[in-house]
Structure 1
Amino acid sequence: MPVDRERVAALVRELLEAIGEDPDRPGLRLTPSRVADAYGEFFGGVGVDAATPLMHTISVSRGPAPDTLPSGAVMLRDIRFRSVCEHHLLPFRGHAHIAYLPGEQVVGLGALPRVVDILASRPQVQERLGEQIADTIAGSIDARGVFVVLDAVHECVTMRGDRQTDASTVTIAARGELAEPAARAELVALIGATRP
């Protein structure tokens, strides 16, 4: 179900009044509709099937490049994402790093950021987001293992309370063969490796 922008705008107007502001003053007159448009983008993943980008797979042995079978994990690092914390409705943003051990099927690398974007475009907590990404990939493609690391900065930590402006949160979700300690250690090292 798409975001009801008209209702969001009405509620933002009410919120502005509740904090003692005048929603009709020049600087705030367009704020309700601007927030409604932003929420349409921030929460566009609500009700969307995150597995859809993974529906098109490529056969490893019978595909376009059968002579280049992956012998190890396929990793995509530094996928930028943003989400909204469901506890305070404040943004958090960071990078996702995803690895999977292909079976007979692989997916185009562009599908992985789309999965992240759909799941991040919902009210979220980082821990659940990582688990949902891992579960979606593990349940949708022929993967022997999945590994997801999220590293994010939360505005509920950086802008309120103790205001820890340099703090980031790292979470890990692992499935299958990539849940083994040795495999995890190797992947964590790869995530931190510098590029050539």
Structure 2
Amino acid sequence: MDRGRVEAAVRELLLAIGEDPDRLELLRTPGRVADSYAEFFSGIGVDAAEIARAGTVPAGDGERGQLVIVRDVRFRSVCEHHLLPFTGVAHLAYAPGSRLIGLGTLSRVLDTIASRPQLQERLGEQVVATIAEGLDAAGVLVVLDAQHQCVTTRGERQSGSTTVTVAASGALAEPAGRAEAIALIGSGVATTVGGAVPVGAATDHGADA
């Protein structure tokens, strides 16, 4: 990120809306915005598939299970239409192939892809594709439930509105697999925030890879 250009752009924006960027209370605003943008957009240019690949281990006999679900993963991103944040929870499911992935790695993949100007629909599809590629999973499903500031704070200002999107691939894009995963996500079977639900044979990969 070109920090100097961001600060200059913020200063110009303040001038454009009729503010005085040299006003005492605004003197540090360009720098603060640059700091926040460095965090919000830290995923630009980062290979999320490599993060996924690095976090996998071979699945041993009896370790694979049929379905692994990590529920209630908090995320934030920035809508590319208005450059306003959207925040919410993700539910990540995969049907293991020959490899397993550290549960914390799934969250890091999501955070990396979310740390770019995004659309919620595309974010889900990209997370699915990245996990499927990095893990060589038999199927991946991602449900995102998010609140968008471009909806809650402007226009009609629907302050209680959230948007839910579903993306899936492989076995979890098939009606039966998709229905099972979504039912388990909503059933309350999983543990609390960040919990994992192995379905089928036991898995032993709770430690982050």
Q: Distance in 2 between matches of 1:185 and 1:163?
A: 33
Q: What residue is the counterpart of 2:4 in the other structure?
A: 6
2:205 counterpart residue number: none
Structure 2: runs of 5 or more not aligned? 192-209
Cα distance in structure 1, aligned partners of 2:98 and 2:129: 18
Aligned residues: 189
Measured in 1, the distance between the counterparts of 2:6 and 2:65 equals 50
Match of 2:42 in 1: 44
Q: Which amino acid is 1:13 matched to?
A: R
Residue 158 of structure 1 contacts residue 166 of structure 1 at CA under 8 Å; is this kept in 2? yes
Percent pairwise identity: 61
Which deviates more from structure 2 when the two are superposed, residues 6-15 or residues 185-194? 185-194
| Aligned partners of 1:83 and 1:124 also within 8 Å | yes
Q: CA deviation at 1:52?
A: 2.1
Superposition deviation, residue 5 in structure 1: 1.2
- Measured on the aligned residues, the alpha-carbon RMSD in Å equals 1.2
2:119 equivalent to 1:120: no
- C-alpha deviation, 1:142, in angstroms: 2.2
2:187 maps to: 193
- The one-letter amino acid of 2:22's match is D
- For the residues of structure 1 that align with 2:35 and 2:84, how far apart are their CA atoms? 16
Q: Tell me the equivalent position of 2:196.
A: none
1: distance between equivalents of 2:47 and 2:134? Answer: 11
**Residues 1:169 and 2:163 are matched in the alignment:** yes
User: Within the alignment, does 1:93 sit opposite 2:91 as a pair?
Assistant: no
The C-alpha deviation readout for 1:2-60, integer Å capped at 9, x for no partner, is x1111101110000000000011111110000000100000111111011221232111
> Could you say what secondary structure the match of 2:82 adopts?
coil
Please state if 1:60 is matched with 2:54.
no
| Contact 2:64–2:100 under 8 Å retained in 1 | no
Letter in structure 2 aligned against 1:22:
D
Instruction: Give the TM-score taking structure 2 as reference length.
Output: 0.87
Q: What secondary structure does 1:55 align onto? A: helix
Superposed counterparts of 1:132-143, under 5 Å: 132-143=126-137
Give me the TM-score of the superposition, normalised by structure 1.
0.93
What is the CA-CA distance between 1:126 and the residue it aligns to? 0.3
How far off is 1:87 after superposition? 0.3
Task: State the partner residue of 2:195.
Answer: none
2 CA distance for matches of 1:119 and 1:71? 27
